[in-house]
């Protein structure tokens, strides 16, 4: 008999949420086989069994928060046996089944019936139903189902979530002495609402961004870049670039190389504050913000000063694919020295990016728009222009350095051949 515990993951990770059990009680598990998926504030990881045996008992349910070192299951020797819980129903739930029209459903089953669950008993539900219930903050024991075996389906959770909140007159109608009651929340006023539980990643994003705004002296400076030269260069070279390197030439590699050159010129933008000391970093690991369904993540491209355009583009493409398929490792996210984020892919014209602590600088790219530009006193031309923003920690970076940094990026992007000399 042995316990399966939440392993040490990283110094900054102390807990996680059970996202999904991959095994159920009674299943035989090989040593090194994954038994559950754990959602942390940075990545999802699979917890593996440290020895072979039968999974005897689950000590935590899907959606439960568990700490590092906490036992979450018990594994023992012996032959696989059917679990006592009703989850061992032999017939799987077919998530593709068609929901009956309302009139037919009423004729065949007058009303959905919630199957009673014993105290502490886990309701029987499909994985898709559990996932939806977890996202919407719904207690599965409260969801009625028409399944004769009491299994909760995804359709049942969706129907339950779509119902308006039941009125609860008792708490508000009863006379209360003392201070005046608080305003009635929307969910109790009969108004339609949807309540969703924040994912662990979203909670962490919210916490860290709030900490940044409260613990740094953040300021933002702006400039604009004429993208004509980069666009023309890219048009001329992109086909040959793809043939030689099997990766597409985008704008991000130009900005990464320009940022590295500017960081070398203004080293305090590549630093961080540790107590009463400034840590100046002589390496250039650039974080590139990637948007996923669960929130923003910032995987890190290592040693950008030593890589060429093709290597940088390849690393960015691989990290973005891993981020969107939820396969990033902790090593992919740690140790960045400076961050670049591109709101332009979503159509943002101008924004103020928030620092990615403990870093002290972040470069914001935006959408490219044709705008009239004064070439000289007599000529005006339409040029593809991009607003760029540098948010920085004013505690160690002065305005002169910040403006100079952004001006260096602007000059290099407008004269991309100069980047070859900086590479």
- What backbone phi and psi angles, to 5 degrees, belong to 222? -125, 160
HSE of 136 in the Cβ direction (CA atoms, 13 Å)?
A: 21
pLDDT of residue 86: 42
Per-residue pLDDT for 168 more than 70?
A: no
Per-residue pLDDT for 81 more than 90?
A: no
More confident residue, 416 or 418: 416
Reported confidence tier of residue 173, pLDDT bands at 50, 70, 90: very low
Q: H helices of 177-287, where?
A: 200-215, 228-245, 252-265
Reported confidence tier of residue 107, pLDDT bands at 50, 70, 90: very low
Q: H helices of 284-370, where?
A: 309-324, 330-333
pLDDT of residue 183: 55
Burial of 404 (0-12, 13-18, 19+ CB in 10 A): middle
For residue range 119-137, list pLDDT tens digits in order: 445 566 666 677 777 778 7
Question: Measured on CA atoms in the order 252, 256, 258, 262, is the torsion positive or negative?
Answer: positive
Cis status of the peptide bond prior to 358, with omega within 30 of 0: yes
pLDDT of residue 56: 86
- What backbone phi and psi angles, to 5 degrees, belong to 383? -125, 150
- What the block records as the tokens of 339 is 């961050």
Give residue 173's region: left, alpha or beta (phi > 0; psi -120 to 50).
Answer: alpha
Per-residue pLDDT for 316 more than 90?
A: yes
pLDDT of residue 271: 96
For residue range 191-238, list pLDDT tens digits in order: 898 988 887 777 877 888 888 888 899 999 999 999 999 999 999 999
Q: Are strands 338-342 and 361-365 parallel, antiparallel or unpaired?
A: parallel
More confident residue, 90 or 137: 137
Q: Among all residues, which ones are annotated catalytic?
A: 394, 398
Contact 100, 31 (CB under 8 A): no
Please tell me whether the overall predicted TM-score, pTM, comes out greater than 0.85 for this model.
no
Reported confidence tier of residue 334, pLDDT bands at 50, 70, 90: confident
* CA nearest to 331, candidates 363, 302, 309: 302
Sequence-ordered list of residues with C-beta below 8 angstroms from that of 215, at least 6 positions apart, any chain = 357
DSSP 3-state assignment of 370? strand
**Mean pLDDT calculated for residue range 80-89:** 44
Query: Looking up tokens 């959770």, which residue turns up?
Result: 157
DSSP 3-state assignment of 387? strand
CA distance 341 to 117: 49
Per-residue pLDDT for 93 more than 70?
A: no
User: pLDDT exceeding 70 applies to what percent of the chain?
Assistant: 79
pLDDT of residue 123: 67
HSE of 268 in the Cβ direction (CA atoms, 13 Å)?
A: 15
């Amino acid at each position: 008999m042995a316990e399966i515990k939440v392993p040490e993951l990283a110094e900054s990770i102390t807990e996680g949420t059970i996202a999904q059990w991959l095994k159920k009680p009674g299943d035989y598990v090989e040593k090194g086989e994954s038994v559950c998926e754990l959602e942390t504030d940075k990545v999802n990881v699979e917890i593996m069994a440290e020895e072979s045996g039968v999974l005897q008992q689950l000590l935590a349910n899907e959606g439960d928060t568990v700490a590092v070192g906490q036992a979450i299951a018990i594994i023992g020797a012996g032959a696989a046996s059917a679990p006592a819980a009703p989850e061992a129903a032999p017939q799987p739930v077919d998530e593709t089944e068609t929901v009956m029209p309302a009139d037919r459903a009423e004729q065949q089953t007058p009303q959905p019936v919630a199957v009673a669950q014993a105290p502490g008993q886990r309701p029987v539900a499909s994985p898709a139903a559990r996932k939806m219930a977890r996202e919407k903050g719904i207690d599965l024991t409260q969801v009625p189902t028409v399944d004769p075996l009491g299994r909760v389906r995804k359709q049942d959770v969706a129907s339950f979530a779509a119902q308006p909140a039941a009125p609860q007159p008792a708490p508000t109608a009863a006379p209360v002495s003392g201070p005046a009651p608080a305003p009635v929340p929307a969910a109790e006023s009969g108004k339609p609402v949807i309540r969703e539980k924040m994912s662990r990643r979203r909670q962490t994003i919210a916490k860290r961004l709030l900490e940044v705004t409260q613990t740094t002296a953040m300021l933002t400076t702006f400039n604009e870049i004429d993208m004509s030269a980069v666009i023309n260069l890219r048009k001329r070279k992109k086909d040959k670039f793809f043939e030689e390197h099997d990766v597409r030439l985008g704008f991000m590699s130009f900005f990464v190389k320009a940022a590295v050159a500017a960081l070398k010129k203004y080293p305090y933008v590549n630093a961080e504050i540790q107590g009463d000391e400034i840590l100046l970093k002589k390496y250039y690991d650039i974080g590139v913000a990637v948007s996923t369904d669960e929130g923003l993540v910032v995987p890190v491209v290592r040693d950008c000063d030593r890589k060429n355009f093709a290597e940088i583009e390849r690393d960015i493409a691989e990290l973005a694919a891993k981020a969107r398929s939820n396969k990033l490792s902790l090593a992919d996210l740690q140790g960045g020295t400076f961050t670049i984020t591109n709101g332009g892919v979503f159509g943002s014209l101008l924004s103020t990016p928030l620092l990615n602590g403990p870093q002290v600088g972040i470069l914001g790219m935006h959408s490219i728009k044709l705008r009239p530009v004064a070439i000289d006193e007599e000529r005006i031309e339409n040029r593809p222009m991009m607003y760029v923003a540098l948010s920085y920690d004013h505690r160690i970076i002065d305005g002169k350095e910040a403006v100079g940094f952004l001006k260096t990026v602007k000059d290099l992007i407008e004269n991309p051949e100069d980047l070859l000399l900086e590479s």
